[in-house]
Structure 1
Amino acid sequence: MRLRNAVLAIAAGATGAALAGAAAGVAHQRRVIAHRDAGERVAFGSLRSPALTVVADDGVPLHVEVDEPAPRVDGATAPAPTVVFVHGYALNLDCWHFQRAAYRGQLRTVLYDQRSHGRSGRSTEEHATIEQLGSDLARVLEEVVPEGPVVLVGHSMGGMSVIALAESHPELFGDRVVGVALISTTAGGLEPHRVLVPMVPRTLGGQVAVRVVAALARGHRVVEGFRRIGRPLALVATDQFAFGSDVPERYVAFVDEMLSRTPFDVLADFFPAFGGLDKFALLDALGTVPTTIACGTKDRITAIGHSRKLHAHIEGSRLEEFEDAGHMVIMERHAAVNELLDDLIEAAVA
């Protein structure tokens, strides 16, 4: 009888703990859900935290911002992951507006401007490579997330940075890195001219496009002048190539502003890196952690086929295709993308 009572007491305690844990999890998830539309309530580019500087291994200063979580009131003690967002080509950390707003105060998030982009320092041309971007990400983790679990979220060139990190530091995956999201990106096979459409005619491909971009870069001041004069046309092009469906005008203007603030010679520095990218055979580390792949079916930059190929090469990965969405799916379908990230974070810490 004494043993039976002890067993019942243990079972009751375990049940109570499980219920308490479930209640805490539900309470936290309700707060997350309540914040999913937070980005609609604040102006683009207005989300800021005190700036940090991480110096890359070649001396380039990287602009980093960290959003710390609000104190938990539900008594939960399990360490939540730090989510690190890595932006794409010709953009800056502000492109994560809707994700940053949704997780602000909920989780520790790290955002940074990739080299030569946004507020980060300018890279030399020889270090404008995908491999260097992977090294930069490693430095950010080392300096800003020295301990605890990490979920990496990369969009476009940011996804390539994550893949480069997995190539150079596979030991981090499954240990420090517990989850990965690759959004509108690829590990290779990208037609370089697609990255700069419509600046470069679609009939130009491969080395021809590289030579044209290099020539334009040498006269980048003239190009910048044409970019300013042609802003109305550029706005229309941004709408066509960044989005797959009708979005509010302010979305288009915000993306166009980020693009226009990236000097053309910076675009030219990174341009050759896309044509030579071939890392599909180097994705094993990503198969050791929950990995979510997402892309719009109308992505004109990194077409949906790239994401399907990533899915085929990464064991156990999840592929989510967003019908009629374009390259900036993180804005165009931000609520659904945030739900995907919720699922990934839950799987990563399970």
Structure 2
Amino acid sequence: MSFPLVLLPGLLCDRAVWASQCDELSDIANCIVPNYGTLRTISDMAQFVLDSVPGRFAVAGHSMGGRVALEVVCAAPSRVIQLALLDTGYEARQDGSAGEEEKASRLRLLDLAYRKGMRAVGIEWTPGMVRTETLDTPVYQAILDMIERSSPDLFEAQIHALLTRPDATRVLSEIRCPTLLLCGREDRWSPVARHEAMHKAIENSVMCVVEEAGHMVTMEQPVAVNAALRDWLLTESEGEST
């Protein structure tokens, strides 16, 4: 029997980032991909998810969506059956020069969005989000198309959410549901080491590193991601049936 699987997209991503997973996991899960609209905080995004999906559910978050997933668990742990965190992070924006540098970098991209449009943002930003071999492929074009479907106003809201993101370090040690940590081997934004730290902090978690993938792992290596998510989902299903 299928059950709700909430798939949370990251910054400037929409249903396309989870398209393969929605197709391949439809036999065991009712896949739901929320649209945050122009919500401006991670906590508001998490509350929107909780208000939109009734009852208990499994949740997987990619990039910014992973931060939303952690906030969902923090706000309503009893409603989350399983958790998967893909190419994401858990710490707040750093204090001092590092935090200011992050802010300035994000605001430069926002300025570009308002001056030249969202595709210009994708062309500037996306090369660092994928492995070099993904450039000039249909997958890369699909990522650019996805970013172009967004808008500067939505981008501004999501930047605000990321710059004011909560620190979820404490949440990690409180997670009790079966948890998957998954990361592309060549992710330069959310590296493997960060996921290993989360794996050590989360009880009852498993770690999966996907080869030949960068930050956009669900689109770069969908077959490997689908297999990992299927194993994660079926492990809990089997446990509940015994």
Please indicate the TM-score interval, normalised by the length of the shorter structure.
0.7 to 0.9
Per-residue CA distance 1:2-21 (angstroms, 9 max, x = gap)? xxxxxxxxxxxxxxxxxxxx
Give the TM-score, by structure 1 length: 0.60
When residues 205 and 258 of structure 1 are mapped into structure 2, their CA distance, relative to the original with a 3 A threshold, is farther
Deviations 1:196-232 (A, max 9, x none): xxxxxxxx842254256557757853242xx55x58x
Is the alpha carbon distance of 1:212 and 1:312 closer, same or farther for their aligned partners in structure 2, counting shifts above 3 Å? closer
Q: Counterpart of 1:112 in 2: which secondary structure?
A: coil
The corresponding residue for 1:178 is 81
Per the alignment, in what secondary structure is the counterpart of residue 292 of structure 1?
strand
Contact 2:185 2:191 in 1 (8 A): yes
Residue 29 (structure 2) aligned to one of 107, 111, 122: 107
Which residue in the other structure is 1:119 paired with? none
Contact map agreement 1:235 1:252 (CA 8 A) in 2: no
Name the counterpart of 1:207.
100
Which of residues 258, 262, 279 is equivalent to 2:168? Answer: 279
- d(CA) in 2 for partners of 1:107, 1:209: 37
Alpha carbons of structure 1 residues 82 and 285: separation in structure 2 relative to 1, 3 Å: farther
Q: Which moved more, 1:264-273 or 1:328-337?
A: 264-273
2:19 maps to 97
State the Cα RMSD in Å.
Answer: 2.8
Q: Indicate the larger mover: 267-276 or 327-336.
A: 267-276
- Choose from 44, 60, 75 the match for 1:168: 75
Partners of 1:215 and 1:251 in 2: CA distance: 25
Given residue 183 of structure 2, which amino acid in structure 1 is its aligned partner?
C
Partner residue in 2 for 1:246 = 133
1:135 matched to 2:22? The reply is: no
The one-letter amino acid of 1:178's match is: I
* 1:313-328 alignment, distance < 5 Å: 313-328=201-216
The 5 Å alignment of 1:82-93 reads: 82-93=4-15
Task: State the TM-score, normalized to the length of structure 2.
Answer: 0.84
- 1:331-350 matches, cutoff 5 A: 331-349=219-237, 350=239
**Corresponding residue number in structure 1 for 2:193:** 305
Alignment of 1:150 with 2:57, yes or no, is yes
Q: Verify the 8 A CA contact 1:243 1:328 in the aligned structure 2.
A: yes
Cα 1:348–1:269, aligned 2, differ >3 Å: closer, same or farther? same
Structure 1 residues 347 and 216, CA gap change in structure 2 (3 angstroms): closer
Per-residue CA distance 1:256-290 (angstroms, 9 max, x = gap): 1111222234323332433443111112442x211
Q: CA deviation at 1:151?
A: 1.5
The letter of the residue matching 1:323 is E
Give the Cα–Cα distance (whole angstroms) in 2 for the partners of residues 136 and 275 of structure 1: 19
What is the identity, as a one-letter code, of the residue corresponding to 2:131?
Answer: G
Identity percentage of aligned residues: 21
Distance in 2 between residues matched to 1:242 and 1:214, nearest whole Å: 18
> In structure 1, what is the Cα distance between the partners aligned to 2:83 and 2:46?
14
Unaligned ranges ≥5, structure 1: 1-78, 117-122, 193-203
Greater relative CO, 1 or 2 (CA 8 Å, sep 6+): 2
Structure 2 gap segments, 5+ residues each: none
> What is the rounded CA distance, in whole Å, between the counterparts of 2:90 and 2:109 in structure 1?
27
Deviation at 1:250, TM superposition (A): 1.1
> Could you tell me how far 1:105 is from its partner in structure 2?
4.6
* CA gap 1:95/1:191 in 2 versus in 1, 3 angstroms: farther
Structure 1's 191 and 340: CA in aligned 2 closer, same or farther, altered over 3 A?
farther
Q: CA deviation at 1:334?
A: 1.0
Counterpart Cα distance in 1 of 2:207 and 2:47: 27
**1:221 aligned to 2:124?**
no
Q: Distance in 1 between matches of 2:219 and 2:111?
A: 33
Aligned counterparts of 1:103 and 1:213: Cα–Cα separation in 2: 34
Contact 2:129 2:214 in 1 (8 A): yes
Counterpart AA for 1:188: E
The structure whose Rg is larger is 1
Task: Call closer, same or farther: CA 1:190–1:311 in 2, change over 3 Å.
Answer: farther
1:15-70 deviation line (CA, Å, top 9, x unaligned): xxxxxxxxxxxxxxxxxxxxxxxxxxxxxxxxxxxxxxxxxxxxxxxxxxxxxxxx
User: CA 1:296/1:213 → structure 2, altered by over 3 Å: closer, same or farther?
Assistant: closer
Q: Distance in 1 between matches of 2:209 and 2:215?
A: 12
Code of the aligned partner of 1:182:
L
User: Secondary structure in 1 aligned to 2:81?
Assistant: strand
Q: Whole-Å Cα distance in 2 between the matches of residues 191 and 327 of structure 1?
A: 21
